[in-house]
Structure 1
């Protein structure tokens, strides 16, 4: 028993098994095999390593965005001249990565709390029975008092009076001067995996350059100052059209960096995308056009609380930071090579299927590829036990008269 265990351990540690191979001289199968291997090789080199950069590890950035608007607007509505600065036309005013620039508005001044008739088309009525007191309609301006105003044929409401009339949107937009406003974007990103921090104010940008530059896709692609009219144009919109009823534009700061080269080559690219605007341009939703919201300025006059209500139409800007950094790493490199080597086995599988099932001499190839053996049972008389003896084929097949060693199949 001890010798059997010793022999078993010796066989396990000091013997090597290798699969048997059959060399098939067949031009068609050989061409198919080489074409598949060539395709796999092209996939590994072209797609995995060159296009997908499978030899590099990747990381996304943690970043922040700061914005600042500059510019002054002028309006003259019914002889009333007004100057609009950044504090008036930017919402919110904290320099966020998402903000709105007002380009058009409807103003309702001197509103105070009281009762007044609704606008025509909202809460229409023919008698007091049509105006149920204490109720309100979603599209109305206040709570109904139960009175039908004969002069307007609308229900009386408790609201901020006079109610806003937003049926007629100013055309052309009141703040067309917004086309000349400028936007300054300051962005910093950090790639934690590689310990790299970058700013869009790269090495070539200093105070002198910023004071005179204006972004241009080819002439000044790194300038962080953008003219609103240029942003709208590059996003595919017409400024006057989008300024009338508002819209939204996405500004993408793209940090795609190869850190295998000098880090100074890691620079941002700016892209502009029209998200939604006027129906005639990119927005297919006709139910709700443009972008607008309301805000009020409250004050007290003669001890009476009043407010000035503005319905603001503007362009919403969303600044989105997109990032991906790559750097050589031995682990993904070995993984990509290993997976590529495994894919080479596809050629063997395909060629075996052709040999064993499609070619006319498939039976001959089966006999060459597979060797069948029988299991013989012998009685061990000395121990009085039955054991199964498995006969294996010698590699050189000299003792097997039926061996295919030396057999050659010639393609005809």
Structure 2
């Protein structure tokens, strides 16, 4: 029988329990029967998995030992316009380099191996809080390259932000028992999720775009001069004074023709 705390679970007769309909906020599908829940209450019977899932939260951190786990981020950008590609991993002949290095924005900015605790703290959160109920962290890799300089100076910048303070998901495994009854094991798993996004831009000097930009700027200044004149001549409160200073008015008297 369904719990009396579930909406519309209480019943008096079988007609109160429609068969085949999922129970709203319940844990199964109605069988169409009204059965005794206890000596004083009757509820609709459901077809579902027993026992039902409870909402008990963990009391101790389940991910406490994950603080020293490492995250290796390998990323390659390709700017097709300039036929330029770059990888965020340091070009080295030492095969043990990536096994021993850890990212540090000041001391070791070219190592793409991140310690989980460092990433969580860089996102503004304490690891102990996320280790209890999980969480989601966004990792942003940003490239901003000036291709007029050496390719070695084209390096990514990393930023981290907290997206959610809780993260969990469920998974189940099913099997048949000795009496040909179907069973399942339902697991609710907590974890720290990393969402990685990459953004990049690159630029390189070219004569043609520079000429176009220069010509556009000259045309803009010419249009600005005309616009300023119109505002001062017709809209400004001292338009008469500006008109007198800009234009010189010449008045000519009547013409006389001398007679011989």
With the length of structure 1 as denominator, give the TM-score of the two structures: 0.53
CA distance change for structure 1 residues 119 and 233 in 2, over 3 Å: closer, same or farther? farther
Q: State the partner residue of 1:245.
A: 133
Is the 8 Å Cα contact of residues 215 and 222 (structure 1) preserved in structure 2? yes
Is the 8 Å Cα contact of residues 143 and 158 (structure 1) preserved in structure 2? yes
1:189 is paired with a residue of what secondary structure?
Answer: strand
Q: State the partner residue of 1:336.
A: 213
Establish whether residue 350 from structure 1 lines up as the match of residue 228 from structure 2: yes
Aligned-pair Cα RMSD in Å: 2.8
With the length of structure 2 as denominator, give the TM-score of the two structures: 0.80
Question: Which of 300, 305, 318 in structure 1 is aligned with 2:176?
Answer: 300
CA distance change for structure 1 residues 178 and 134 in 2, over 3 Å: closer, same or farther? same
Question: Which of 223, 229, 232 in structure 1 is aligned with 2:120?
Answer: 232
Question: Which of 49, 52, 60 in structure 2 is aligned with 1:160?
Answer: 49
Structure 1 gaps of 5+ residues are 1-116, 278-289, 372-400, 403-412
Distance 2:104 2:67 in 1: 16
How do residues 4-403 of structure 1 correspond to structure 2 at under 5 angstroms?
117-119=1-3, 121-123=5-7, 124-125=9-10, 127-128=12-13, 130-145=16-31, 146-151=33-38, 154-165=43-54, 167-204=55-92, 206-277=94-165, 290-302=166-178, 303-345=180-222, 346-347=224-225, 349-351=227-229, 353-354=231-232, 358=238, 360-362=240-242, 364-365=244-245, 367-368=247-248
Distance 2:147 2:133 in 1: 44
Distance 1:126 1:195 in 2: 72
Structure 2 gaps of 5+ residues are 253-260
Deviations 1:160-214 (A, max 9, x none): 222222x211122323222222211111121111111111113258432211111
Distance 2:125 2:93 in 1: 29
Q: Which has the larger radius of gyration?
A: 1
CA distance change for structure 1 residues 204 and 267 in 2, over 3 Å: closer, same or farther? farther
- Which range moved further: 154-163 or 246-255? 154-163
Is the 8 Å Cα contact of residues 251 and 320 (structure 1) preserved in structure 2? yes
2:185 is paired with a residue of what secondary structure?
Answer: strand
1 or 2, which has the higher strand percentage? 1
2:128 is paired with a residue of what secondary structure?
Answer: helix
The alpha-carbon deviation at position 119 of structure 1 amounts to 4.8
- Higher relative contact order, chain-length normalized (CA < 8 Å, sep 6+): 1
Distance 2:63 2:42 in 1: 36
Is the 8 Å Cα contact of residues 118 and 163 (structure 1) preserved in structure 2? no
Distance 1:265 1:208 in 2: 24
Is the 8 Å Cα contact of residues 144 and 200 (structure 2) preserved in structure 1? yes
